[in-house]
Structure 1
Amino acid sequence: MMSAAFLLSGCETNLVVLEPQGPVAQSIADLINWSIMWMLLVVVVVFGLFGYIVWKYRERPENMDYEPPEEHGSTVLEIIWTAIPILIVIALTIPTVKTLYALEEVPKGFENHEPLVIHVTSADWKWIFSYPEQDIETINYVNIPEDRPIDFRLTSAGTMQSFWVPALGGQKYTMNKMETQMYLVADNPGSYFGRNTNFNGRGYTGMEFEVLAQTHQEFDEWVNEVRDTAPKLTEDEYEELLKPTHLGRLTFSNTHLEWVNHADANSKSYTNPELYEYHGYQGRTFEEEDNYKNDSEADEHDHQHDEHEEHDEHEEHGGDHSGH
């Protein structure tokens, strides 16, 4: 998990995992730095010895006919170069295991803080965030209060995805009819990028979301605003949202947990396999710069886009859909 996160961070303009914005990400960054230190030590020693041996025992005019004496080996040297790698592996294993177990608990220093529970449901290709305590739901963005542990309950409505916010922590998989758990804390208010890192179709590259850490006052104001202004989500609308499409940001004043919890082993799967061969892309993630609630402008954009797709379908005469 750590190595994958480190490598994938190379896709960003900077190494986000080495600029942690929370205690969970800090522990991962410390583990990465610890591993890099040992790897650099091995590289320096190995290449140093390689250069020294090549130079010292190179062929020269004065030793052209040199024949080395027969060697029977050295027990001491054999023990040394066998013990050193074992000690290095132990030095890497102990902090790795300790860190991995610590990541499954509320971060140290926040044990007395009540976590905010947010259910995360992945669907092709969007992220659905449900706040059961606040009775609100968002799509493709999630607002959280700073300096408070967030208890993310991860699941999937269909295919498997990977939930990752590199500035705040590592990645975890979301799987249908299963639930994984992740604790994250943001040290300061700010906007943090999140995405799906698991290939599950051609739309996965656009499966992104924003984590907006707010002050406690700003978060409470946002919750009250959503309750007062956001529309209600119906079961039919929710099932339509789960189809394999890209969406912008949406906000609702209730949650889909009223009808289905995809982590339940007996829940229905919403894979819609008949739609995967030919499909279009409806909307774009983060269409509005600061769109934290549904508004008429976003609805008008979606309506225009739907008309455009309907026009394309008529032109195709029922053939292959080329998408956008």
Structure 2
Amino acid sequence: MRRKLTKYAAPLLIMLMMVMLSGCSTNMMVLDPKGPVGADQRDLIYIVTILCAIIMVPVILLTAWIVWRYRDTKDNKAKYMPTWSHSALAETIWWGIPIIIIGIIGVFTVKYTYALEPSKPLDSDKKPLVIEATSLDWKWLFTYPEQDIATVNYLYIPEDRPIEFHLTSDAPMNSFWIPQLGGQIYTMSGMSMKLNLQADEPGVYYGSGANFSGEHFADMRFEVTATSDEEFNQWVDKIKAVPDALTLEGYEKLAEPASSPVQSFNSFPEGLFNKIVNKYVVDKPAHHHGE
């Protein structure tokens, strides 16, 4: 009875793990990039996965073969060598190949780490659009300094144009993430981080806070709509026509811990982002990463 349970336990466990992981893929967004940063990060994932598989797949297959080949049964014909202890060729193979592959992974990692430095401007003949993103409890405030408009929990961006995000927090540390456009970056009080992304095609992309931050953490999601330049300008004009402006008093109310619906503001106080960054700074200027 025990042998039967052992025989079927491993396959059942593997199947259970596959079912559980299938619900955590977020539709494999990181493997379906829609921008240059996301595409490079996907390529690095593929390269490292393939190189690791060169080591792992043979090891897993050999482990299964060894367990079966040298199983304890009366009719097993496996060669018995009780005094065997060393093979220079075997040790060269199982140490040499992983060392070479780790070296190759290191080269690719260094190359992509430098190329994907978050504050590094993207190659483009178009001027970047600056968007200031502030993580609050439990919502995202986005201000467009060039357009003098603000939104809560949603973004509009022009396609095929670099977006220069400036990020900070007026709440516990969080993490800004648009999976199909690029990797996450932390938002921290008293710091201004910079992240350059770009959408290569129109679409609606999922965004979220990727760092647990309390009771309504699950509400820190936002949609990113990438449109043509003409449609983006029309959207800006539409927001300019809304009746509400974000005042300092309104911001203080917005910053209170609570979830928030989508909101739009036709203006916001000048220098609001810098005020938020320097809110917790004492006797010295705040740190601006990448500037």
Which residue among 169, 174, 198 is the counterpart of 2:182?
169
TM-score (norm 2): 0.80
Does 2:192 align with 1:179?
A: yes
- Structure with higher RCO (Cα < 8 A, 6+ apart): 2
* Counterpart pick for 1:106 among 112, 121, 145: 121
TM-score, normalising length: structure 1: 0.73
Structure 2 distance, partners of 1:102, 1:154, is 20
2: CA distance, partners of 1:268 / 1:72: 64
Q: Once the 2 structures are TM-superposed, how far is the Cα of residue 10 of structure 1 from its aligned partner? A: 5.2
Cα drift, residue 145 of structure 1: 0.1
SS in structure 2 at match of 1:113: coil
CA deviation map 1:91-110 (0-9, x unaligned): 22222222222222234xx3
Once the two structures are superposed, residues 158-185 of structure 1 have per-residue CA deviations (whole angstroms, 9 ceiling, x without a partner) of 2101111111111111000112211111
CA distance in structure 2 between the partners assigned to 1:66 and 1:222 by the alignment: 76
- Which position in structure 2 is the counterpart of 1:4? none
Q: Once the 2 structures are TM-superposed, how far is the Cα of residue 65 of structure 1 from its aligned partner? A: 12
Change (3 A) 1:23 1:64: closer
2:230 equivalent to 1:217: yes
Q: In the alignment, residue 267 of structure 1 is paired with which amino acid?
A: K
State yes or no: 1:254 paired with 2:267. yes
Query: Compared with structure 1, are the counterparts of its residues 219 and 85 closer, same or farther at alpha carbon in structure 2 (3 Å cutoff)?
Result: same
Contact 2:189 2:280 in 1 (8 A): no
Separation in 1, partners of 2:136, 2:150: 14
User: Take 1:142 and 1:9, find their aligned partners in 2: how far apart are those partners?
Assistant: 29
Amino acid at match of 1:106: P
Hey, what's the Cα distance between the residues in 2 that align with 1:142 and 1:113? Answer: 19
Provide closer, same or farther for how the CA distance between residues 262 and 101 of structure 1 changes in structure 2, counting only shifts above 3 A.
farther
Change (3 A) 1:230 1:22: farther
Map of 1:133 onto structure 2: 146
Cα RMSD for the two superposed structures: 2.6
Counterpart secondary structure, 2:191? coil
Counterpart of 2:55 in 1: which secondary structure?
Answer: helix
Secondary structure of 2:182's aligned partner: coil
Deviation at 1:64, TM superposition (A): 8.6
Residue type of the alignment partner of 1:217: E
Matched, 1:205 2:204: no
How much has 1:252 moved relative to structure 2? 1.3
Match of residue 272 from structure 1: none
Paired residue total: 260
| Residue range with higher mean Cα deviation, 210-219 or 60-69 | 60-69
Q: CA deviation at 1:226?
A: 1.9
1:151 maps to: 164
Contact 1:18-1:29 within 8 A present in 2 as well: yes
Hey, what's the Cα distance between the residues in 2 that align with 1:48 and 1:21? 36
Q: Tell me by how many angstroms 1:46 deviates.
A: 0.8
